[in-house]
Structure 1
Amino acid sequence: MNTLTMLLIIWFTFISSTFSIKLLPDVKKIEVNTPKTLEISVNNLVEYIIYYRQLSARNPYRIKVSSKNADPQNPVLVVVRQEKDVISWELPLHVTTSKNQDKYYHVTSRTMCHNNMNVINTLSFRSFMEKSFHQDFTIGISSSCNINSTVSIETIEEENFFVKDGENVTLTVSPSQSRYFFYKFSSQDSDTLTIELNSNDDACLIVSIQDSTCPVFDLNEDIMFRGKYQTISRKGGLTIKRKDFSEGFFIVFVMKPDNYDCSQELSIYPVTKYYFERNSDATSNVSFVIRSSLGRKQYVTSTIVTMSGILFFYLVALVLIVAFRKYGSMKNINAAKEVISLDEDVVDDTLPRSTMDIVYVLEKPDLNVKVLTKYPLKDKIRSFNYLWHIISIAIFYSIPVVQLVIAYQRMLNYTGDEDLCYYNFLCAHPLFSFSDFNHIFSNIGYIFMGILFLFATFHRQQVLPFRFEVGIPVHYGLFYSMGIALIIEGLLSACYHMCPSQSNYQFARFLSLITINIINIGMLGIGLILYSKGKTDFGTFLLGLLMANAIVHALFYTTMKIIHNERICIEAIVYGVLGILSWIAATIFFLDAATLWTVTPAESRQWNQECILMNYYDKHDVWHLLSAPALYFTFMFLMCIDDDIIDKRQDNIPVF
């Protein structure tokens, strides 16, 4: 090889290496010993590595990076390296809205997960609150853009990172600036905690509770991948069980770029939509406080007090039954008097009702009970059909309901998605695998009141068997079915409250008829108007309609008794007054709703309220506890209302 060839090879090698070196960016290193704000310019030829050495602080640091002229097509890349963790993001930060639109944020911040979390988890509460830690990390800033991007980097110690019990914490959050904090259980904490959250605007937030290990998922794309979470707008609440987060937990706040997940547009019901997107510089102020909730002793105490109240009610009810038997309208009744036997009635009951009989009844000007009770045994047997029908319906209806709510509860426990169920999160006490045990347990009153009414019906049947020629024929099968229905009400209401949602709630003469129909149509119109304005929901409207019908019929029957010179016996007066008082008290608590399942979960939480009774029951629980005896008194009123004519001949009792 000649000299010229060697020179050419050396020349081309030098040119190639020089060209390659120019393609690599110039790395500039900066060492920082104290947190401060830096401003740098980066492009495809210059990148920065900033070393933070021996920073001593108890709290972790939040890195705030901003750039007004960063190019979305060639963004600035931010890489934060710690001893055990790496987080990275681009600037401007790209976030996709619910409508698949692209939004870019030029101001971003992320909180670094504490390098010493494994040490903090082993320390006592007091020890780590007084301890400082050395924290080393580096920040790399680079870009592939050939135009300079001015970048501002600010290192901020997260002062209120370790939250104390009862401490009110206020923070600012945006779609590009998530925040999170840490709570460590102390020996004084109860088995459950309640986190109460409030916001001053309608911004849609996702709040997540994650265990005490790094990394923390604090982006819109990944916040739902760990722990439990829920959407909130102006108000929210979470219940934390100590056994689920024994070492402590992170509470993470991420703001959505729009309000779709919190707005009524997400609802399956046809209500007003008001979707909007947040401005790129929009922020939201949020405050939260963590408080100790109930311990095992308080659960036991509340249960004992509730059962004691039911026992006391039983004693009062039994005293009333015995007292009315000895001193009321039935005190002189002869149970054996004119009891109809099978032999006396079987002949008549085998005869079909002819057309002539029906015409005779319809054309008779003054109908009496005797005319309408020509086949008493058949009517007696038919009355027990109500009992078998209600049992059949209950079995048929309960199977899918139970399966549905159990599936929802399991899904909530598995996924951590607390938007599945419409709880009153400010008064939801978990027990066993149930997230809201108190709203389930408060339905126990319906079950015990149903059992009590069954006993009252059985007692009355023994004292007053089916009789012929006198009094109103008693359909005991109907009363038994009413008692069973009250028990089923408690069971199915308890099932519904395992996970209330928009899906499982679907499983709750001529002149007189015209008047009642007009009233129903009027209530229907009022209900539709209130529903269209968002003042009520279908369940409340339906319940109100049924209650109003029951009230109208009871008032009609009572009024007609007075018009026909029949007196209202003392039993009916006592039960009626007690029923009215109970209904008034119960309705007051029912109308002050703590949830609203026709809107989104986030909007429903704006109705959430704190407990009002024994720090265990909220207003809806009180509605359960009061409406159960109200139903019992109402049923007893209906059973006793005709005791004043118990010995009156049926041909002297008018039909109205």
Structure 2
Amino acid sequence: MKVSSGLGQGHPEEGWTLLTWVWSCLFFASANTFLYSLFPQVDAVRVYVNSSSENLQYPVLFVVRQQKGVLSWQVPLIFRGLYQRTYNYQEVSRTLCPSEPAPETGPSDQIIFVDVASMAPFNIAYELLVTRLESFQLETNKPFNFTASPSQPQYFLYKFPQDVDSVIIKVVSDAVYPCSVVSVQDIVCPVYDLDHNVEFNGVYQSMTKQAAITVQRKDFPGEQFFVVFVIKPEDYACGGSVPSSIHGKLCWGQILLVCLESVYIQAMLFSFLSFLSFYVGSVVVAIYKNSLLVSLYPQRSFPSVSLLISGHLSCCVWKDLAFTLFFYFFSSCSVPDESSSSGGRQFSSPEHGPPAGSDTDSSVEEESDFDTMPEIESDKNVIRTKVFLYLSDLSRKDRRIVSKKYKIYFWNIITIAVFYALPVIQLVITYQTVVNVTGNQDICYYNFLCAHPLGVLSAFNNILSNVGHMLLGFLFLLIVLRRDILHRRAMEMKDVYTLDYGIPKHFGLFYAMGIALMMEGVLSACYHVCPNYSNFQFDTSFMYMIAGLCMLKLYQTRHPDINASAYSAYASFAVVICLAVLGVVFGKNDMWFWVIFSLIHVLASLALSTQIYYMGRFKMGKCHNQTILWVRECTCPHAIFGLVYRPRDFASYILGIFICNLLLYLAFYIIMKIRSSEKLLPIPLFCIVATAVVWAAALYFFFQTLSSWEETPAESREKNRSCILLGFFDDHDVWHFLSAAALFFSFLVLLTLDDDLDTVRRDKIPVF
């Protein structure tokens, strides 16, 4: 190594390989130039300067000239923070961009010029230190410790080993670490390692305690990259309450690069095979149940379910299947399968049988043909005077009219899904494109410690884990379709048990529930393409609909003639989604929003409960006042909790209200069913137990918070955790798997809960 300057020269001993040289001097309005001739084996050089001068009018200027670039700074070094705050640093150190010799010239000495100048009219003392970095290259699975400060950034080199295609860069720090930026940049000089330019190149994240960036070999043609670490001059950028300087403090950190194994095939096989096993189980249960029914009720005629399941379908069954599929997916006409009626308002008994021609009449009556007739209104008043209501009292409308009413739920949710999903997909594609183009990984709130990219997607594992909602939603549609076909076949054979026994079969709400479950998977996957503040509602919108549809289905079971219309129901869901968005925007700090929302919550609950409880025949009295008081007592705790605690996650708060009400209603229904001496058959009992167990496990993983878009990106990364399943899925992915199964079992509970009533006359089935 050789050193020379305008003021003197120094020569170290021959063969000295450690590059360390200190030069101190005083100068007056002049300039010095130092020349360093480096040995070829020197990888990277770090220049350290220090000056005791705090005069901002006459800073000391340092310029480092290399073969392929120029690096310059001043001392005191000035950083500007929030509210025009300035932070001055007397110590500055920078790593020079390592230059490799050209292939045609071979190894040669590297020349570095360090120019020092100032316009100060007085003497200024400074210190210059040039040091070779012995630990500049990072190694896989080997922790690397370093120190940095706002005026002394750091960066290091990593080269992909031959057998490694993907690595995750984990950066951790002590508990009081300031706001920092971790960047991954290609091997290009100059390296952007200052607070004002670190975002100009590569991929970057802000961090406080930890950060993680997944890097793939294919993204770097040279199969190597720089890991750049920059500390911001104040903590406010990462969520600090007030700007606080990190002046004069060297902070400690650690970098660990971990190889990522290619487990994409195994993860996809696990995801699909896990849920395809539900299909196999459903086929086995269907065959077993059909055999059991044939053995228990030999006098009844059952369609050939075993043939339907095994694939050897008869011509008639194929015709029924094709017709039903055509109706639900291509037509809006009423089908004759559910047209068998009990004579409009007249209940038919097994002795009299169904009215002649009721199953073949293809005319389509409107619901108003019945509801606007005066005798119907008087009939409602007569029914209202009964002490005990039975199902026959509330299933008096023509079956075709009621079925048509419930099928509107299916068509409306299809329409909503299409118009909702298309802009959602467009938006998340735009978000992902912005992330990929700008390299700003603060836009999306992933669990970066377990984010497996695939193609343009940054966290493919969070998207893949939603496949369960789609597969199980489609399976539920098939199960409902099978029941629908069997019901129509029984109606065609004029089976008296189908006509006058058990709960009236209407499948429109069940089809809507299956579509909602599939769309929950689609929109949850869209949300996890880039989770953030702007698209949070995508993940919960159809959960509101699922909870609402389940409550409507429970009510419809014993009140088939008086359930809410599809238009009113979906309009209510739209209002709820609107409130959820407003709550996120205004609900954090606005007390008035919570007051207004609590009033709306209580009043809406009173109005809805009164309408449902009295079936639209409400009159004020002592008993009614007691009922209203009971409804108020059940509603107020939710409203008071929100008003006092004001949860930050307003969307989850509203969803919690829906889920709690659904669970209470379901528990009430089951208790009343048992009190009425009705049975729980093995299949619904199994589904109830499975639902409780799977929901408990799912909620455990749901509350393992791995990120939060309500906080800054740096604060959100403090919650990040490593994968827990197959080295590919994290806790939230497991929540996706379990919640899909839990929703599927919940739907099966509603579908099979009243199967024990299929042999009970409707005038013996109580209403509750």
TM-score (norm 1): 0.87
Name the structure 2 match of 1:110: 94
Change in 2 beyond 3 A, CA 1:357/1:43: farther
Q: 1:182 to 1:513 in 2, by over 3 A?
A: farther
Q: Is 2:265 the partner of 1:300?
A: yes
Residue 512 of structure 2 is matched in structure 1 by: 481
SS where residue 47 of structure 2 aligns? strand
2:107 and 2:639 map into 1 onto residues whose CA distance is 66
Partner Cα distance (1:491, 1:153) in 2: 60
Q: Secondary structure at the match of 1:607?
A: coil
Segments of structure 2 that go 5 or more residues without pairing to the other structure are 13-18, 304-349, 492-497, 541-612, 614-623
- The residue that corresponds to 1:491 in the other structure is 522
- The answer to whether the Cα contact below 8 Å between 1:42 and 1:141 also exists between their aligned partners in 2 is no
Which of 82, 88, 91 aligns to 2:72? It is 88
Alignment of 1:471-620 (within 5 A): 471-507=502-538, 508=540, 509=613, 518-519=633-634, 521-526=636-641, 532=647, 537-620=649-732
Q: Which residue of 1 aligns with 2:36?
A: 52
Cα distance change of structure 1 residues 219 and 29 upon mapping to structure 2, 3 Å threshold: farther
Matches within 5 A, 1:64-213: 64-116=48-100, 134-189=109-164, 191-200=165-174, 201-213=176-188
Residue 390 (structure 2) aligns with: 368
Alignment pair present for 1:28 and 2:7: yes
Equivalent position to 2:242, from 255, 266, 275 = 275
Query: Contact conserved, 2:365 with 2:401, CA < 8 A, in 1?
Result: no
- Tell me whether 1:257 sits opposite 2:233 in the alignment: yes
State the Cα deviation string for residues 580-613 of structure 1 (Å, max 9, x = none): 1111111111111211111111111111111111
Distance 2:381 2:28 in 1: 100
Residues 571, 133 of structure 1: alpha-carbon distance in 2 compared, 3 angstrom cutoff: farther
**CA deviation string 1:543-579 (max 9, x = no partner):** 3333222211111110111122212222210111111
- How far apart in 2 are the matches of 1:545 and 1:348? 36
Do residues 381 (structure 1) and 409 (structure 2) align? no
Distance 1:255 1:148 in 2: 32
Counterpart Cα distance in 1 of 2:73 and 2:193:
12
- Show the counterpart of 1:351: 370
Residues 205, 440 of structure 2: 8 Å contact kept: yes
Deviation per CA, 1:279-327: give whole Å up to 9, x if none: 42133211110111132xx211221222222222321232123323332
Output the CA distance in 1 between the equivalents of 2:487 and 2:628. Answer: 32
Counterpart selection for 1:411 from 434, 443, 453: 434
Deviation at 1:192, TM superposition (A): 1.7
Shift of 1:529: 5.6
- Residues of 2 paired with 1:172 and 1:518: CA distance? 59
Q: 1:203 to 1:558 in 2, by over 3 A?
A: same
Query: Is residue 325–residue 331 contact of structure 1 (8 Å, CA) maintained in 2?
Result: no
Which amino acid in structure 2 is aligned with residue 505 of structure 1? F
Contact 2:20 2:131 in 1 (8 A): yes
Change (3 A) 1:161 1:118: farther
- What aligned pairs does 1:232-247 form with structure 2 within 5 A after superposition? 232-247=207-222
The one-character-per-residue Cα deviations of 1:374-427 (angstroms, maximum 9, x if unpaired) are 113211111111101111111121122111111100000010000010011111
Query: How far off is 1:133 after superposition?
Result: 7.8
8 Å Cα contact 2:182-2:211 kept in structure 1: no
Counterpart check, 1:447 vs 2:562:
no
> Following the alignment from structure 1 to structure 2, what is the Cα–Cα distance between the partners of residues 117 and 523?
71
Q: Answer whether contact 1:257 1:278 (CA < 8 A) is retained.
A: yes
Distance 1:330 1:173, change over 3 A: farther
Amino acid at match of 2:152: Q
230, 236, 241: which one aligns with 2:205: 230
Is residue 452–residue 461 contact of structure 2 (8 Å, CA) maintained in 1? yes
* Counterpart pick for 1:464 among 478, 487, 492: 487
CA distance, structure 2, for counterparts of residue 641 and residue 441 of structure 1: 32
Task: Report percent identity of matched pairs.
Answer: 34
Letter in 2 for 1:365: V
The code of the aligned residue for 1:499 comes to C
Whether the 8 Å contact between 1:335 and 1:464 is mirrored in structure 2 is no
Contact 2:82 / 2:243 at 8 angstroms: preserved in 1? Answer: no
Q: Secondary structure at the match of 2:82?
A: coil
Kept in 2, the 8 Å contact 1:30–1:51? The answer is: no
Deviations along 1:110-143, one digit per CA (max 9) or x if unpaired, are 1000021777xx9xxxxxxxx9984431211111
Q: 1:206 to 1:515 in 2, by over 3 A?
A: farther
Q: Does 1:288 align with 2:288?
A: no
Post-superposition offset of 1:453? 0.3
Correspondence 1:635 to 2:666: no
Contact 1:168 1:288 in 2 (8 A): yes
Stretch moving more, 177-186 or 93-102? 93-102
Residue identity in the other structure for 2:674: I
**Change beyond 3 A, Cα 1:218–1:648:** same
Distance 2:293 2:183 in 1: 62
For 1:244-282, what per-residue CA distance to the aligned partner results, in whole angstroms no more than 9, with x for missing partners?
11321101011111122210xxxxxxxxx6123224213
State the shift of 1:517 in Å.
6.2
Deviation for aligned residue 1:432: 1.3
| Contact kept in structure 1, 2:206 and 2:714, CA below 8 Å | yes
Query: Whole-Å Cα distance in 2 between the matches of residues 288 and 370 of structure 1?
Result: 72
Cα offset for 1:522? 2.6
The answer to whether the Cα contact below 8 Å between 1:579 and 1:634 also exists between their aligned partners in 2 is yes
Give the Cα–Cα distance (whole angstroms) in 1 for the partners of residues 124 and 225 of structure 2: 38
1:501 maps to a residue whose letter is N
Q: Is the 8 A contact 2:87 2:245 kept in 1?
A: no
Match of 1:14 in 2: none
Q: 2:93 & 2:211 partners in 1: Cα distance? A: 24
* Residue 626 (structure 1) aligned with residue 762 (structure 2): no
User: Is the Cα contact below 8 Å between 1:173 and 1:254 reproduced in 2?
Assistant: yes
Three-state SS of the structure 2 residue aligned to 1:384 is: helix
Q: What amino acid does structure 2 have at the position aligned with 1:246?
A: P
Q: Does the 8 Å contact 2:169/2:213 carry over to 1? A: yes
TM-score, normalised via structure 2 length: 0.75
| Cα contact 1:470–1:649 (8 A) shared by 2 | yes
Q: Which residue of 2 aligns with 1:216?
A: 191
Query: What 5-or-longer segments of structure 1 have no aligned partner?
Result: 1-25, 123-130, 264-272
Equivalent AA in structure 2 for residue 182 of structure 1: L
Distance 1:330 1:493 in 2: 44
Structure 1 contact 439–497 (Cα < 8 Å) conserved? yes
Q: Supply the distance in 2 between the matched residues of 1:98 and 1:530 (Cα, whole angstroms).
A: 31
* Change in 2 beyond 3 A, CA 1:628/1:279: closer
Amino acid at match of 2:93: S
Alpha carbons 1:387, 1:477 under 8 Å: kept: yes
